[in-house]
Amino acid sequence: MKKVAVIAIGGNAILQEGQRGTVEEQFANVLQSCEPIIDLLSEGYNVVLTHGNGPQVGNNLLRVERASDIVPPIPLDVCGAETQGSLGYIIQQSLYNRMRERGIKRNIATVITQVVVDKGDPAFHNPTKPIGPFYTREKAEEMAREKRAVFREDSGRGYRRVVPSPKPVEIVEKEAIKKLLAEDFLIIAVGGGGIPVIREGGTLRGVEAVIDKDHASALLALEIDADYLIVLTGVPQVAINYGKENQRFLKSMTAAEAKEHLAAGQFPAGSMGPKIEAALRFVEKGEGAAIITSIDRLKEALQGETGTRIIKGG
């Protein structure tokens, strides 16, 4: 059977810093990221792609705010669903066109994915994930009163809305994804961490939250018994003492070593931390390996030539 790789592509693969975020820019960026993924298909892997959607959701929320006196507003979970669809379209069309140019035939499908979170998750009492545009203090206080939302100062650039970021506990559409994999589909799923929903009796209900994309990708990889969780970022390898004279890149880590480095503060919460935590979740609960690398070194990382591989170990 083909080996299954869940590949979490970073936001810079879709929208780069300094860009306006036009559809044309996003198509161009995704096209540049297609080749390494298609190479893996040619090598005989089955692939499930996941992706971020932070800038796109922020833009959607801004549109909602600006048009609030013309059309009804939409909640955050629906914004997430909309961007799953639009970004899935951009990614799957780009891959289709590039594969056609290379003479590769493969069915592609985007699965709009709901991800269950625990309504008792402590994150709901401590919102920390910033979303949307920056506001002045006065505007943030006004919106906080009107919308009952929480706003916090962000890096000296103004005030942003913050929402809960609960841990994912279940992929609702996992069986559909498994069946598509069995039919040799290239699948795009869990966009932006998935649409956060809670269970109430036998029903599902969307909630105002954002799930970390890498944590949701790790859960998906576990639930479909993937062989690899590959988290793509801006650097080819993970380093300790990053940016210092004694910086050292790591070719591999056991789960125990990764935990030690994490506890020592080597992987900050705002950068590499969530990726390491997601890798640990997959490695400790599953039977596969996690790899962290950059998209241009994807093939070499799977061959063990670069990247940082995290294994169960001791």
In tens, the pLDDT along 175-200 reads: 999 999 999 999 999 999 999 999 99
Q: Which of 137, 163, 189 is the last residue of a domain?
A: 163
Does position 249 have pLDDT exceeding 60, yes or no?
yes
Q: How confident is the model at residue 308 (pLDDT cuts 50, 70, 90)?
A: very high
Give the SS3 label for residue 114.
strand
* CATH code assigned at 190: 3.40.1160.10
101 and 193 both lie in a single domain: yes
Catalytic site residue from 46, 193, 213, 288:
213
Catalytic site residue from 11, 58, 80, 286:
11
Catalytic site residue from 10, 54, 88, 129:
129
Task: Reply yes or no on whether 191 is catalytic.
Answer: no
Q: Report the amino acid identity of residue 287.
A: E
The predicted-structure confidence for 228-247, as pLDDT tens digits, reads as follows 999 999 899 999 999 899 99
Look at the chain and report how many structural domains it folds into.
2
Question: What number is the average pLDDT over the span 54-70?
Answer: 86
11 and 106 both lie in a single domain: yes
Rg, the chain, Cα only: 19
User: What pLDDT is recorded for position 68?
Assistant: 83
Does position 150 have pLDDT exceeding 60, yes or no?
yes
156 and 270 both lie in a single domain: no
Residue 203 sits at the vertex; the CA angle it makes with 199 and 207, to the nearest 5 degrees, is 50
**What average pLDDT is seen over the chain?**
93
Higher pLDDT, 209 or 68: 209
User: What pLDDT is recorded for position 17?
Assistant: 76
144 and 32 both lie in a single domain: no
Q: Which of 163, 182, 217 is the last residue of a domain?
A: 163
Q: Report the amino acid identity of residue 289.
A: A
Question: Which range marks the domain in which residue 138 is found?
Answer: 127-163
Task: Reply yes or no on whether 275 is catalytic.
Answer: yes
Q: How confident is the model at residue 132 (pLDDT cuts 50, 70, 90)?
A: confident
Task: Reply yes or no on whether 213 is catalytic.
Answer: yes
76 and 51 both lie in a single domain: yes
85 and 219 both lie in a single domain: yes
What's the rounded Cα separation, in Å, for the pair 133 and 138?
Answer: 14
Task: Reply yes or no on whether 3 is catalytic.
Answer: no
Does position 154 have pLDDT exceeding 90, yes or no?
no
185 and 260 both lie in a single domain: yes
The contacts found for 262-271 with CB under 8 angstroms, 24 or more apart, are: 266/240, 266/241, 266/242, 267/238
How big is the chain, counted in residues? 314
241 and 305 both lie in a single domain: yes
Q: How confident is the model at residue 20 (pLDDT cuts 50, 70, 90)?
A: confident
149 and 35 both lie in a single domain: no
Does position 64 have pLDDT exceeding 70, yes or no?
yes
Does position 314 have pLDDT exceeding 70, yes or no?
no
User: What pLDDT is recorded for position 232?
Assistant: 95
37 and 54 both lie in a single domain: yes
Question: What number is the average pLDDT over the span 221-230?
Answer: 97
57 and 89 both lie in a single domain: yes
Residues 6+ positions from 295 with CB-CB distance below 8 Å: 9, 10, 13, 33, 36, 232
User: What pLDDT is recorded for position 96?
Assistant: 96
Q: Which of 136, 163, 190 is the last residue of a domain?
A: 163
Catalytic site residue from 10, 53, 192, 275:
275
Question: What number is the average pLDDT over the span 111-135?
Answer: 93
22 and 143 both lie in a single domain: no
Q: How confident is the model at residue 66 (pLDDT cuts 50, 70, 90)?
A: confident
Task: Reply yes or no on whether 285 is catalytic.
Answer: no
